[in-house]
Amino acid sequence: MFSTDRTNKWFKEFTDNYKFEGMLHPMLDLKLKHSKRVSLICTETADSMGWDENGDSWLAHTAGLLHDVGRFPQYKTYSTFFDSISVDHGDLGAEIISKEFDWEGIPENLRENVVSAVKFHNKKIVPAGLKLGPYKWSCLVRDADKIDIYRMVEERIDKGTIFEMLPRHRMAEGLSSDLVEEIKMTGSGSYSNARSLQDYRLIQLTWGCDLNFPVSVATLKEEKIIERIREDLRPYGAKDLVDNLINRIYSME
């Protein structure tokens, strides 16, 4: 009943539809690879927390792999990944998989968990009042998604390819006072206030405060990702804010 091979097959056929002359657009190829990594992180995280009820490993694999399905039609139609000027890719992905995924033999409650995880993975907050299953699986995908982006940013900084991912941020350096103020006041930062790589890194710290599972924090800690952000931001001031955010992240572990 729970076949990850069937999930993979559906995902491959779905993404193959976005190929042109046998190739995905490089931006979509990044999303394809990201989806596979997030699927793996979901599986590892669920395993490490001992989630081993019937269907759990299928759920982790499937929710992770499908979470960004909406990115494919979004990019095809609007040529952007900015939800604010195109479409909410979580909502779109949830709508697509509800109708098109191969649900044969999957119980209704598990289906609801996957659809909710896709729908809510990109929302500012997971809405209060969700049932436990949809809530728990949304939290898992949100953590896994963040972990992969943290890793990807570090890797790109190391390789010198970070500005391919953040082209708008190439021209500025340092922390924007508007962003620092916004984060001090609200705890989160808008991308519209982020002008530099340092601004982006500061926003990354705010995501860390939103992680759901101690094991996610432990993973970032073990990989020294948070400490590296602290070091990289050190020359640019706002030390109290940075330390404060990092203390909040670590307090969850």
Q: How far apart are CA 39 and CA 197, in angstroms?
A: 27
Least separation in angstroms between CB 33 and Fe ion: 13
Beta bridge partner(s), residue 196: 172
- Long-range CB contacts (within 8 A, 24+) of 42-46: 42/140, 42/141, 42/144, 45/140, 45/143, 45/144, 45/213, 45/215, 45/216, 45/219, 46/140
| Residue 68 or 182 having the CB closest to Fe ion | 68
Least separation in angstroms between CB 153 and Fe ion: 15
| Residue 28 or 242 having the CB closest to Fe ion | 28
DSSP 3-state of 90: helix
Least separation in angstroms between CB 81 and Fe ion: 8
Least separation in angstroms between CB 68 and Fe ion: 4
| Residue 122 or 138 having the CB closest to Fe ion | 122
Least separation in angstroms between CB 31 and Fe ion: 8
- Torsion angle of C-alpha atoms 75, 72, 122, 36, degrees rounded to 10: -130
Asked if 122 is part of the footprint of Fe ion (rule: CB under 5 A), the reply reads yes
Q: How far apart are CA 93 and CA 140, in angstroms?
A: 17
Query: CB nearest Fe ion: which residue?
Result: 68
Q: How far apart are CA 94 and CA 98, in angstroms?
A: 6
Q: Quick one: which segment of 26-34, 119-127, 132-140, 195-203 binds Fe ion (CB under 5 A)?
A: 119-127
| Residue 43 or 122 having the CB closest to Fe ion | 122
Asked if 39 is part of the footprint of Fe ion (rule: CB under 5 A), the reply reads no
Residues 174-213 contacting Fe ion, CB under 5 A:
none
Least separation in angstroms between CB 22 and Fe ion: 25
Q: Quick one: which segment of 40-48, 95-103, 107-115, 122-130 binds Fe ion (CB under 5 A)?
A: 122-130
Q: How far apart are CA 226 and CA 249, in angstroms?
A: 9
CA distances to 198, 225, 228 from 157, rounded to whole Å, are: 12, 12, 11
Asked if 148 is part of the footprint of Fe ion (rule: CB under 5 A), the reply reads no
Q: How far apart are CA 209 and CA 173, in angstroms?
A: 24
Q: Quick one: which segment of 29-37, 121-129, 163-171, 207-215 binds Fe ion (CB under 5 A)?
A: 121-129
Asked if 68 is part of the footprint of Fe ion (rule: CB under 5 A), the reply reads yes
Q: 226 and 169 in contact (C-beta within 8 Å)?
A: no
Asked if 143 is part of the footprint of Fe ion (rule: CB under 5 A), the reply reads no
Positions that interact with Fe ion (CB under 5 A): 68, 122
